[in-house]
Chain A
Amino acid sequence: MHKTEQIPELLASLQPADGPAIEFNETAITKEYVTHYNNRSGIAIKVLIVCGGFLASLAFVAFMMLLKIFESEGAMLVIGLCFVAGALFVNRLFDKLIVDTLSVSLFLIGLSLAGVGLGQLQPDENMVCLFYLMLAVVTIGLNQGYVFTFIGVLMFCGSLLALIANNRAFDLIHLYILAVSVSLAWWMLNEARLIATYRKAAKLFSPVRTGLVFSLLVGLASVGKRGLIPVSPDYIWLSSAGTIGIIMYLVATVLALLGRQDMKYKGVLYAACIICLLPTALSPAISGAVLILLLSFMVNYKTGVGIAITALAYFIGQYYYDLNFTLLEKSGILFSSGVMLLVFYFFTAKMLGDEKV
């Protein structure tokens, strides 16, 4: 990241040699650089804010329980909404990293109080889910800070999952996975267009991307472990069809990037990808994790790569653990898959040039 004193030189270097000049709002840019400099936060600080906020809200909810406030539904709902509004207000008023833990704690406390209060006042659980869904949209709309937008996306997707579970329409999980996969791919592959077209909402890009990755993982995890939710085996391929389709699109993009145009090579690679991915048709979690890995690597999103590798290792392990085969049959599948992957390694090494890795 550049320093504020380097901004004029940086802006000058970006002006095109021909064509219309780019208009930069130097004052706003300098202001954002200063804010960024004063609030630089890596992954460690973000984890600290979310975990700290979670623990503090847990202790506070315990305090409220001991105060027996849970016996009054109306009070809970009102106090909860006040906490949520207060959190959004505090975070908007002081756009500083240091108040993030306080506002996140207030927000989580408010969410739990309002949810329990509304749940007791309104017996229809779908209404509670819709309430959270709307609250998520309001949160993202009102507060474009990283942590709040991230929590907002998780809340939105979590509410959809809760709606599916409440109505026992578990097969709709495939629609959820498909929708989140497509949204994630579109969001990550259209970074430039999103920033340049929706300039006022461009701050949402990073937290929405992270939120969608986690939301997709939650959906994948729910179908990745056999028996976790009662999904019909007849429709399980639906989730995989979506993720495999997007992976094939990414393969085409990567091939174009690698500059390989010969049909024979392309045909072999597409066939290899399909052979690799078809066995995962009944395990959407694996193809979903591969999708996150490829997308994250493509746009150089390192946190996503780390999360995807961890998820992939877990989903593959879980898949083989759940498989209703004898150890000998599992051994055969694993060994032949391993040999096939090694063949792919030699193939890519030969066809792409033996890059010394």
Chain B
Amino acid sequence: MQKLDRDDIHILGRNSSWSAEGVGRALNDNVYNHATAWQKFLQLFFISLGVCFTSAGIIFFFAYNWDDLGKFAKMGLVGGAMLSVVAVVVFSKASALIKNILLTGAAVLVGALFAVYGQIYQTGADTYELFIAWTAFVTLWVLSAGFAPLWLLYIILINTTLVLYLGQAMHNLQPTDLCLILFGLNTFTLVASIVLHSLKPEVNIPGWFTNILALVCVSISTAGIVAGIFDKETMLGAFLLVIAIAYPAAVGYGIKAKRVFYPASIAFSLIVIISAFMLEASHDTGMFLLVSIFIIAAVSFTIWQIVKLQKKWADA
């Protein structure tokens, strides 16, 4: 029997006398997950949740700031837990995936270690300094593991550090300025991961990772520009110039890589931005009608273009 997907089975099933048993067999053989997939899933489910819960338990323990526990005991406990995990990663014969999940747990514990240090010695440092230290000290692990969830944690840490630094050290920063900086940072990371994957195809960068990054970039640029339009911020022009370069490049990449996500998300972002410009220009009754018509027309046009693109890809 030829390989079928779910759409094939549904179309054939509803236009034939194919029995329920036959359809069920086809779904079982071609679509549903089997024993091997379940084994993999269950193991990943338990180890990921286990590492998350254990790390969260350790963080909550130190957040409690138990007075009866001496400072050496506190540092020793969190440091010991972290070193134990690292020892398992280095010396055990577990698979690379399990080691990487454990290393991600250890990276979270590094943050707990710095937080405990700051708590004990009352360093008086700004919050962003904790995050700078945390980010810096896990960099080597992130680079050596090449594990997408650990990279995601790292990117969250860098973003958090930047937001805290800009919020605490630069008080007169506007929302659009902050969004522009975050957009630059995340776009750089996204481009770097795409370039790395194209130069070294053996480096595994999962689609969900780049999709999350792209979604973050588009959300930040949309929010930043819309805020800039309504608050009349000075950096709006610069931001528009940046997306005038970034958006076409991203659409071009999406078309080249046959990924609908890029043109679809960027088109939606542009529709929101143009609607914001229209509403800022006028709050008249007619403008709301115009915006409504514009959104319907623009989304329909986008879908038409994407469907055309998909047909082209399918025929190629």
Task: Note whether A and B form a binding pair.
Answer: yes
What is the number of residues of chain B that contact chain A, defined by CB distance less than 8 Å?
89
Whether the pair A196, B18 counts as a contact (CB closer than 8 A) is yes
A352 to B45, CA, bound (A): 14
Whether the pair B60, A330 counts as a contact (CB closer than 8 A) is yes
Interface: B126 (CB within 8 A):
no
Q: Mark A318-357, 1 if CB is under 8 A from B, else 0.
A: 0010000011101111111111111011001100110111
Shortest CB distance B268–A (Å): 6
Whether the pair B53, A335 counts as a contact (CB closer than 8 A) is yes
Partner of B43, one of A60, A330, A331, A349: A349
Partner of B10, one of A45, A205, A338: A205
Residues of A within 8 A of B1 (CB): 13-14
Partner of B47, one of A67, A299, A342: A342
Whether the pair B50, A42 counts as a contact (CB closer than 8 A) is no
Residues of B within 8 A of A339 (CB): 50, 54
Q: Mark A40-71, 1 if CB is under 8 A from B, else 0.
A: 11101101110111011101101100110000
Shortest CB distance A14–B (Å): 7
List the one stretch of B32-40, B161-169, B177-185, B227-235 in contact with chain A: B32-40
A141 to B7, CA, bound (A): 22
Whether the pair B24, A192 counts as a contact (CB closer than 8 A) is yes
Residues of A within 8 A of B32 (CB): 298-300
A16 to B261, CA, bound (A): 40
Interface: B300 (CB within 8 A):
yes
A335 to B77, CA, bound (A): 14
Q: Mark B1-16, 1 if CB is under 8 A from A, else 0.
A: 1101111111111111
Shortest CB distance B21–A (Å): 8
Interface: A93 (CB within 8 A):
no
List the one stretch of A94-102, A154-162, A233-241 in contact with chain B: A94-102
Interface: B95 (CB within 8 A):
yes
Most buried by B among A11, A192, A340: A192
A191 to B50, CA, bound (A): 33
A257/B35 contact (C-beta < 8 A), A55-B272, A342-B54 known: yes
Chain A, interface size category, equals 35 or more
Partner of A37, one of B54, B265, B311: B311
Shortest CB distance B28–A (Å): 9
Shortest CB distance B312–A (Å): 12
Interface: A264 (CB within 8 A):
no
Interface: B198 (CB within 8 A):
no
- Which residues of A are at the interface with B, using a C-beta cutoff of 8 A? 1-3, 9-11, 13-14, 16, 22-25, 28-29, 32-33, 36-42, 44-45, 47-49, 51-53, 55-57, 59-60, 62-63, 66-67, 97-102, 105, 191-193, 195-197, 199-200, 202-203, 205-206, 254, 257-259, 297-300, 320, 326-328, 330-342, 344-345, 348-349, 352-353, 355-357
20 new A-B contacts at CB < 8 Å, known A56-B295, A192-B26, A344-B50: A10-B8, A14-B12, A39-B307, A44-B264, A52-B298, A55-B271, A63-B285, A63-B288, A66-B285, A98-B300, A192-B27, A196-B18, A196-B23, A199-B15, A258-B35, A300-B31, A327-B64, A341-B47, A342-B51, A348-B39
